[in-house]
Amino acid sequence: MVAPVQPGDVLLGKYKVERVLGQGGMGVVVAARHQHLGELFAVKFLLPEALKDEEAVGRFLREARASARLKGEHVARVHDVGRLDTGAPYMLMEHLQGSDLKEVVRSRGPLPVEEAIAYVLQACDAIGEAHALGIIHRDLKPANMFLIRRPNGMPCVKVLDFGISKQITPDNVDLTRTGAMLGSPLYMSPEQMFRTKHVDTRSDIWALGVVLYELVTGTLPFLAQTLTEVVGLVLQEEPLLPSQHRPGLPPALDAVVSRCLQKKPEHRFQSIEELMQALRAVLGGVVPWDRVSSPSNPSLQGYAPGPGSAPGLGQTPPGHLAQTPRRSWATRPREGCRARRPPGRSRCRAWAIRPARCLESRERPGTCWRPGTSRRVGRASSRSFSSRRRQGSRSRPAVSG
């Protein structure tokens, strides 16, 4: 498709187009230099055919208004909004030089944990500002997180494309054909897929969990070849833990990602601040990793975090365990950790991971019980469970986001 503007064209009588940065089905982004100031800007505007779509125009204007309200360092600044001579709405934005995080992972592979968390924390800073203003992003993904360098050489993540529609357009449902949708399904929360009126800030928290998963593993938690299969996985399946794709990742990271990807919004982190506190705890090794999980979980009663825990961790509502799908996980301190802890490890930091559907009974140590029943099912064995999980690991064909 030929872009409606070409290098050398002048927009608004003062912005000379130098090159086309990108073009999609609805709009174009060009790099244009102010002829008097000499400063380079990015100009985003709708294609002529999109002007007939009132929803597309409204969505563009919502994005412009939302972006213009955000002033933080980690948001692409919007300097002007208006209409071109053609009547197409436009946004004049700061010009960014760098790469999006999708390209970074594609070229480098999985990132070091510290680097990935640092990038997500910067994105959280932008999203936290948006949430405080009542703005939900709805399309967070590595391709919408742009990595630039500050003047001192330090990396800085800029979150792009605020305010897109919550709807999936009928002409973009074939993932294998375009891989691009409004509210990309590979990063969408379950409620965003069908209950768009109930989408709130916790949908962005889900998406940030998917982003973190991808940054540290190089893959996605829900992969399939068709939209229908992706929807089925997101709604019904529990993903493999990040450490099952990349052995050696800290259990704390598994716990944070797993909580972000809870099917029910009330079981996730309830705010960006909670998520950021959990990520900082992982980054600094502040608290035992299971405290990122759910102390109000029936299986964790009696193991609530102590006074030294980071605030905001471990606030999953009661009843979470009984409602957790078969393949999900729960965490708890190992019984008798004094005798079982590895040499050199503090007793309070000796933790074990157990399947959420088969946890060791506190009344009868050494036996398992299933939530909702009184039936014992045999000896508890975290080792045999771990081996079964490894044997059950499987890969799915990839779909680009």
Task: Please indicate, yes or no, whether residues 265 and 129 belong to a single structural domain of this protein.
Answer: yes
Task: Please indicate, yes or no, whether residues 291 and 373 belong to a single structural domain of this protein.
Answer: no
Task: Please indicate, yes or no, whether residues 375 and 321 belong to a single structural domain of this protein.
Answer: no
Per-range mean pLDDT, top range of 139-148, 168-177, 288-297, 372-381: 139-148
Task: Please indicate, yes or no, whether residues 43 and 62 belong to a single structural domain of this protein.
Answer: yes
In a domain, 148, yes or no: yes
**Both tokens assigned to 314:** 């471990």
Task: Please indicate, yes or no, whether residues 157 and 40 belong to a single structural domain of this protein.
Answer: no
The per-residue pLDDT for range 89-138, each reduced to its tens digit, is 899 999 999 999 999 999 999 999 999 999 999 999 999 999 998 888 88
In a domain, 371, yes or no: yes
Contact (CB, 8 A) for 189 and 265 = yes
Q: What is the CATH number of the domain that holds 72?
A: 3.30.200.20
DSSP 8-state secondary structure symbol assigned to residue 99: E
The CA distances from residue 97 to 21, 76, 116, in Å, are 11, 11, 20
Range of the domain at 390: 358-395
End of a domain among 33, 67, 94? 94
Kindly indicate the confidence band of residue 2, based on its pLDDT and cuts at 50, 70 and 90. low
Q: What is the CATH number of the domain that holds 188?
A: 1.10.510.10
Asked whether residue 44 is marked as a ligand-binding residue, the answer is yes
- Please list the active-site residues: 139
Task: Please indicate, yes or no, whether residues 163 and 302 belong to a single structural domain of this protein.
Answer: yes
In a domain, 334, yes or no: no
Range 223-235 average pLDDT: 90
Q: Which pLDDT value is given to residue 265?
A: 93
Task: Please indicate, yes or no, whether residues 316 and 187 belong to a single structural domain of this protein.
Answer: yes
CA dist 188 and 33 (Å) reads: 36
Task: Please indicate, yes or no, whether residues 121 and 250 belong to a single structural domain of this protein.
Answer: yes
Question: Within 10 Å of residue 132's Cβ, how many Cβ atoms?
Answer: 11
The CA distances from residue 15 to 39, 43, 46, 169, 291, in Å, are 9, 9, 17, 33, 53
Task: Please indicate, yes or no, whether residues 90 and 112 belong to a single structural domain of this protein.
Answer: no
The per-residue pLDDT for range 250-277, each reduced to its tens digit, is 999 999 999 999 999 999 999 999 999 9
Least confident of 58-72, 208-222, 229-243, 278-292: 278-292
Least confident of 6-15, 72-81, 184-193, 367-376: 367-376
